[in-house]
Amino acid sequence: MEMIPCLKLKNQISKRITFIGRFVALLLFLATQSLANEGVEALFAIKAGRIITVTQDVIENGTIIIKNGIIEAVGKDIPIPVGAEIINVDTMSVYPGLIDAHTSLALKQPKATESTQDRSGAQTTQSGAALTSLSPEQLAENILNPKDSKIAKVRETGVTTVLTVPSRGIFIGQSALINLSGDKPEAMVLKSPIAMHMGYSGQRGVYPSTLMAVIAYQRQTFYDAQHHKFLWDRYSKQKRGWRRPVSNKSLDALIPVLKKQMPVIISANRENEIKRALRLANEFDFDYLISGATEGWRTIDLLTSLQKPVLLSLNFPKPENVTGYSFKLKVEGTKKDKVKEKGKKEEDEKEMAELYANAGVLHKAGVKFGFTSGGLKKPADFIKNAAKTIKHGLPKQEALKALTIYPAEIFGVADQIGSIEDGKIANLVVATGCIFDDKTKIKYIFIDGKKYEIKIEEKKKKDEGEPKVDVTGTWDVTVDSPQGEIAVTLILKQTGSEVTGDMKSEFGAADVYDGSVSGNKIEFSVKLPIAAEPVEIIFEGIVEENTIEGTIDLGPMGTVEWSATKPGMWSYEF
């Protein structure tokens, strides 16, 4: 009698085990199917009016087949595979995905403070920005942020690939070439590392913060790296009798540079900066590239003799920041101010024409280059500024190559991207016309074979952007920075939709420029003398009577919030 309950229990356990076994098997089957489906990419057939291959002839009324993220075939009369999604754009043009050869897009922001050790082993606490500026061992691929909200905005301009690394610093770290698609960092990386990056912008309040100190620090660091390399080379040949060298991540990272196994990309725009960078590279005999070179025409003989490519910035400086700018005008009479304004405008236009013509001068001299956004705040300006170089002497085909195949060749990935050819990664741009035309719209973007459809906005109503508020006056501003609240005074003047003025803070005084009001939205820029050079930041906000609330784009340092109030109802008179 006692065995019956035991038998029932045994049967119940057996059934449960069988059920669990079947359930586990089902889960394994579903997991297997899920993994298999993840590897399946959509199949596309793009029927285009024009295919600009860049490296070969333009194909009229051609077809591109994309399979598993790769261009399977391109040409005329290409058979369309069964099951392919047909994209009929027979009135549009297809370009290779554009490449931004130097940016700081898609990177996580450093922590506000972090504990670390200096070279002597002493424990120190520095800001995250300071750590970034002195960290040659830092890999950009380790701080990628696929959720960066700016990725979509950049992608919509036709840029599919970027070389990314923090924008400011001294020994900035090692860059990564990434595609602007993927939910995970590893899915974005095309090649890493590309190069070691150096610049001349120190961290405010942290040594080295002056230009002279930065240069001395760079030279001393390379001397330390040379000695570090000597110790390790000696130890690797004869370990017995020699004390093992102490590991140092920063100096270890510079050894491949000294062995010419990794190039250095040095940020240098002005004439003296370019010459300074070349002196450093020659002193320590490492391979290098110049990034920026907005005054390349001033050192054209030097750049030509080096026979090295350049990463050419399209972030044109303001005329007063160009070497040799000196507006002087003596006038007499009652029309003095108007004459001054006219004279300065003419001088500024002359300076800007030289900046726009820089690319054409380099091309004529035989200097190869890839275009970079160089820290541009508005993604659309990247292509607009490339168009300006065309209007000032650069052949259109060369401008296109500087956005596609040339940077691909410079970074050693020309067999993967940069042109429309069989077997290359399906990074493509479908546009309504010439990509350098202001009226052209981007319709589709393909990155690694993934399709992004860009909604073409309808024309805005004529009065939609008219200002609904007047921001003229003095504003008490509070900035919520990671280091606490910062008090700022804004003095603004609004004329129509244009906003000018100045700003005063603990960083000093700065002019307000590129200011505008649209509806009740305000946007303006200032340059603050942070560390060794001015840093451009963009204010955006919503105006409600005597208050403003919004965000500040600090570029590589992230985004912070700001608010402002206008005491009383009086306006400041200029």
How many CA atoms lie within 13 Å of 215's alpha carbon, on the beta-carbon side?
12
The structure's pTM equals: 0.76
In sequence order, the 6+-apart residues with CB closer than 8 A to the CB of 220 are none
The β-bridge relationship of strands 473-481 and 559-565 is antiparallel
Supply φ then ψ for residue 345, to 5 degrees: -60, -45
Q: Quote the pLDDT of residue 486.
A: 85
Termini Cα distance of the chain: 106
Query: CA triplet 222, 223, 225: central angle to 5 degrees?
Result: 60
Taking the C-alpha atoms of residue 375 and residue 556, their distance in angstroms, rounded to an integer, is 9
User: What are the DSSP E strand ranges found in 229-363?
Assistant: 264-268, 288-292, 310-313
Q: Which residues, 6 or more positions from 553, have their beta carbon under 8 angstroms from its beta carbon? A: 377, 537, 538, 540, 559
Which residue blocks in 312-335 are alpha helix, DSSP H?
none
The one-digit pLDDT tens for each residue of the chain (574 residues) are 444 455 454 555 555 555 445 544 444 444 444 433 444 468 999 999 999 999 999 999 999 999 999 999 999 999 999 999 999 999 999 999 999 999 999 998 655 444 344 433 333 334 444 444 578 999 999 999 999 989 999 999 999 999 999 988 899 999 999 999 999 999 999 999 999 999 987 666 667 878 888 899 999 999 999 999 999 999 999 999 999 999 999 999 999 999 999 999 999 999 999 999 999 999 999 999 999 999 999 999 999 999 999 999 999 998 888 887 766 554 445 555 555 556 667 777 888 999 999 999 999 999 999 999 998 988 999 999 999 999 999 999 999 999 999 999 999 999 999 999 999 999 999 999 999 999 999 999 999 999 999 986 644 444 456 888 999 999 999 888 766 788 889 999 998 889 999 998 877 788 898 889 988 899 998 887 655 556 778 899 999 888 998 888 876 566 778 899 987 544 333 3
How far is Cα 297 from Cα 303, in angstroms, rounded to an integer? 9
Distance, in Å, from the CA atom of 12 to the CA atom of 24, rounded to the nearest integer, reads: 18
Check residue 519 and report its DSSP letter: B
Q: Residue 207: how many CB atoms within 10 A of its CB? A: 12
Distance CA 336, CA 330 (A): 9
Cα distance between residue 549 and residue 562, in whole Å: 6
Q: Which residues pair with 503 in a beta bridge?
A: 490, 510
Q: What residue ranges in 104-256 does DSSP mark as E strands?
A: 113-117, 123-127, 159-164, 171-174, 176-179, 189-191, 196-198
Report the pLDDT value the prediction gives residue 321, as an integer from 0 to 100: 83
Contacts for 391 with CB less than 8 Å, ≥ 6 apart: 356
Tokens of 143: 């701080």
